Amino acid sequence: MVLNIIMLFLVSIEPYLFYLNVVFDLSDFAVLLDTASIIYALDLAGSMAILALFTNELTIEERKLLPQDILGRYRGIRNSFFFSAAIFAITIVPVFWVWRVDNTPVRFYLWVLPLILGSLRRVSRRQTHDT
């Protein structure tokens, strides 16, 4: 129950934090953007970790919540949630704010990585099912 409440809170503030990261100009509001991006990274890391914990509960074999033949897929999903949480948590380190590519902090590029990896995983799973 507590994790559900925390998850609801994290999900509710995520659009606002995303808005702050997208709207403000880096030069005019650097301190606000830095703070908002750190909180945004913490927010998404927490959300991903909670999703991983929820998915982990499904993968406990003794509970028999899922058929045996799809447990492996859900373990993979759980692992990708933990990996995503780790990526978001790592981007809190200040060096990811200082390092830049095309005048954009590396932190922003790393946030896209879980989306790309998740999409690649879905595409490979679909190709496996089609053959």
Residue 27 reports pLDDT greater than 70:
no
pLDDT tens-digit series, residues 86-111: 999 999 998 888 888 888 788 888 98
Instruction: Quote the strand ranges of 1-131, DSSP E.
Output: 100-101, 104-105
Residue 24: the pLDDT is 64
